[in-house]
Structure 1
Amino acid sequence: MALFPFIDCHHAFYLPVGDGHQLYVEESGNPDGVPVVVLHGGPGGGSSPVQRRFFDPREFRIILLDQRGAGQSRPLAETRNNTTMHLVADLEAVRAYLGIDRWLLFGGSWGVTLGLAYAVAHPSRVLGMVLRGVFLCRQQDMDWLYTASGAARLFPREWKAVNAPVAAFPGNLLERYAEGLAGPQAREFARHWCNWEAVLAGMSPLPAGPGGDDELCMATQEVHYFRHQGFLEQPLLDACAGIVLPVEIIHGDRDFVCPMDQAETLHEILPNSVLTKVAGGAHSASHPAIADALVEAVKRIHKRVMA
């Protein structure tokens, strides 16, 4: 992969944002470079040091943060006072605290959803966007993931495996996992939940057992958000139509978490967007072909916003 070498962060801190939440934030790269904020997936996915490697540290001021209830943010896996509008307000709080006027958004999967919601709410604060593995959070997109008529048809054995642990609970898959995750075996249910997504993302599932903090965050937050249609005030496509910010979209044609039609549909309504379809590319940013495409997209967006 053509990723940049690992670099250490030079500034890490917790930012209180109200309601008992504290965001974990870190900076690396050039303090005088183009600011870029990385929006992780999930919800609940958390940030990772590898996410710095998509950016030339000589050119970019790289900001990683863990969204409410995710990663190293506090409290762990908290869903109270945790909606998309809270996350958008948190981004504004981080931007203002760091003294940044405008920044680039770099988001994948749920990070695309959040990035678009932020750009709609605060267009004057956005230089441009790099979006990977587009997730629009429509009902049809959630049906693809969590009903028998979607990805379950491609992975029937794994679909059976994610349903089996919650078979005794009533309701749809999201409702059944909400009940399981609220009980004493939450970490076991979290492992099963995350294994389903891992399979769709082209990764190997883990053996049954209690999930770690990252799995608990991911499962709890995803179920919380997707039971409420992502807490979106209006459909993203309607809200985004006509946005003229420069946008680079990267999407793999083997992405079984977010099928290609989501990227194509978003590209059609954003007049200043470029869609790169990655042959053989899966959902994860760590997939070699996707990672290479992201590095090139970051280079292109840098040229576009600096022109």
Structure 2
Amino acid sequence: MSRTLYPKISVTSQQWLDVGDGHQIYLEQSGNEKGIPVVYFHGGPGGGSSENHRRYFDPQLYRIILFDQRGCGRSKPSPSIENNTLDHLIEDIELIREHLGIKQWLVTGGSWGTTLALAYGIRYPARVLGFILRGVFLASTAECDWLYKPGGASCFYPEYYREFAGHLGGKYNSDVLGGYHQLLSSENEVAVIAASKAWYLWELRLSTIEHAHIGMAQVEDTHQALCMAVISSFYFTRQCFMDENYILDNISQIQDIPAILLHGRYDMVCQLHIADQLCQQWRNAQLQILPCAGHSGFETQTIDAFCKATDTMANFLTEKES
């Protein structure tokens, strides 16, 4: 039987946690305060958490923790790239865990959230009960090239890529990613807003196979688009502050931690072969290929698989504890 998202639940606690460097992280909890602690890492970089992310988890079984990564969403200030690197994000997560008094937690996330989850787990493996990761992204040069250079995703959406690259007026055709980063760093606020919407629209169009047409009218949240574009371009032009192949080269740190990997066969943002490669090198991971899903975390098969995965992991962790 197919699963839908768990019913909407209210936040039981909400705060802005001071993590230093002038940043305050939006942090919320919901569900069972005595349940299995689970933290969800949103995508991006620069995306932000959603009330629907809570609904992947049975609120009777889980203590659900969501937060907005520094510089985006409801965190303050946003958007902000000041003192914003992968190391900062990892240490923010560990500060959240300590602040909440949690010994170990289930680590989950989607897209860029999988990158962050894996990097966190490699640094702090003893803190992780298990992983549920949707739409694996390892932040390699090849993965960024797939998204922003001709010959990758552009081969499947040539008209959309022309529109995306064309926003730069032909000035940066050899380096669309760098061109967007330069434009988004300018002092021209009108140009920055327009560029951020174009950036966000390109990813939206790649993200789902369940909607026939996505146009600029669907880019309703200007702040979210701005956070995504500014922070993603900042990270991607710096290889996400990781050495090439960092995660695969350090997979031994998390080999013994159980993981469920979920990936849509038609994911045009994060490529399936990357998830397969990760699974082949991670003996305690299992990969579920979703035959009729793309990249979005809220497509029908992805919702079904994610909710079932959280139920499966809850049963496993409960049995392990007993």
Matched, 1:239 2:250: yes
Tell me by how many angstroms 1:162 deviates: 0.4
Matched, 1:277 2:279: no
Unaligned runs of 5+ in 2: none
CA distance in 2, matches of 1:19, 1:174: 27
CA distance in 2, matches of 1:147, 1:304: 42
Tell me by how many angstroms 1:209 deviates: 8.5
Cα deviation code 1:155-211 (max 9, x no counterpart): 110000001111354461111001211232211100000111111102523249996
The letter for the 2-side match of 1:188 is A
Cα deviation code 1:25-77 (max 9, x no counterpart): 00000000000001000001100000011100010000000001111001111
Matched, 1:56 2:48: no
Name the structure 2 match of 1:187: 193
Matched, 1:216 2:226: yes
CA distance in 1, matches of 2:146, 2:85: 22
Does the residue aligned with 2:297 lie in a helix, a strand or coil? coil
Name the structure 2 match of 1:114: 116
Q: State whether residues 191 and 210 of structure 1, in contact with CA within 8 Å, keep that contact through their aligned partners in structure 2.
A: no
Mean Cα displacement is larger for which, 99-108 or 165-174? 165-174
Name the structure 1 match of 2:69: 67
> Of the candidates 63, 68, 88, which is equivalent to residue 90 of structure 2?
88
Q: State whether residues 262 and 305 of structure 2, in contact with CA within 8 Å, keep that contact through their aligned partners in structure 1.
A: yes
The letter for the 2-side match of 1:232 is M
CA distance in 2, matches of 1:209, 1:27: 28
Q: State whether residues 187 and 211 of structure 1, in contact with CA within 8 Å, keep that contact through their aligned partners in structure 2.
A: no
Call closer, same or farther: CA 1:167–1:123 in 2, change over 3 Å: same
> Of the candidates 197, 203, 207, which is equivalent to residue 197 of structure 1?
203
Name the structure 2 match of 1:23: 25
Q: State whether residues 112 and 135 of structure 1, in contact with CA within 8 Å, keep that contact through their aligned partners in structure 2.
A: yes
Q: Which runs of 4+ in 1 moved over 3 A?
A: 168-171, 207-211
Q: State whether residues 39 and 106 of structure 1, in contact with CA within 8 Å, keep that contact through their aligned partners in structure 2.
A: yes
Tell me by how many angstroms 1:136 deviates: 0.9
Name the structure 2 match of 1:225: 235
CA distance in 1, matches of 2:160, 2:130: 38
Unaligned runs of 5+ in 1: none
Q: State whether residues 219 and 225 of structure 2, in contact with CA within 8 Å, keep that contact through their aligned partners in structure 1.
A: no
Q: State whether residues 250 and 275 of structure 1, in contact with CA within 8 Å, keep that contact through their aligned partners in structure 2.
A: yes
Q: State whether residues 196 and 205 of structure 1, in contact with CA within 8 Å, keep that contact through their aligned partners in structure 2.
A: no
May I ask how many residue pairs the two structures share in their alignment?
Answer: 307
Name the structure 1 match of 2:130: 128
> RMSD of the TM alignment (CA)?
1.5
Q: State whether residues 246 and 305 of structure 1, in contact with CA within 8 Å, keep that contact through their aligned partners in structure 2.
A: no
The letter for the 1-side match of 2:281 is I
Tell me by how many angstroms 1:274 deviates: 1.2
Q: State whether residues 180 and 189 of structure 1, in contact with CA within 8 Å, keep that contact through their aligned partners in structure 2.
A: yes
Name the structure 1 match of 2:40: 38
TM-score when normalising by structure 2? 0.92
CA distance in 1, matches of 2:20, 2:296: 32
Call closer, same or farther: CA 1:207–1:3 in 2, change over 3 Å: closer
Mean Cα displacement is larger for which, 296-305 or 51-60? 296-305
Call closer, same or farther: CA 1:210–1:247 in 2, change over 3 Å: closer
Name the structure 1 match of 2:152: 150
CA distance in 2, matches of 1:7, 1:72: 19
Call closer, same or farther: CA 1:200–1:29 in 2, change over 3 Å: same
Tell me by how many angstroms 1:149 deviates: 1.3
Call closer, same or farther: CA 1:209–1:92 in 2, change over 3 Å: closer
Tell me by how many angstroms 1:305 deviates: 2.1
Cα deviation code 1:85-114 (max 9, x no counterpart): 100000000000000000011110000000
Mean Cα displacement is larger for which, 180-189 or 234-243? 234-243
Call closer, same or farther: CA 1:7–1:209 in 2, change over 3 Å: closer
Name the structure 2 match of 1:289: 301
Identity, % of aligned positions: 38
The letter for the 1-side match of 2:249 is D
Matched, 1:172 2:182: no
> Of the candidates 47, 50, 57, which is equivalent to residue 49 of structure 2?
47
Call closer, same or farther: CA 1:110–1:297 in 2, change over 3 Å: same
Matched, 1:254 2:257: no
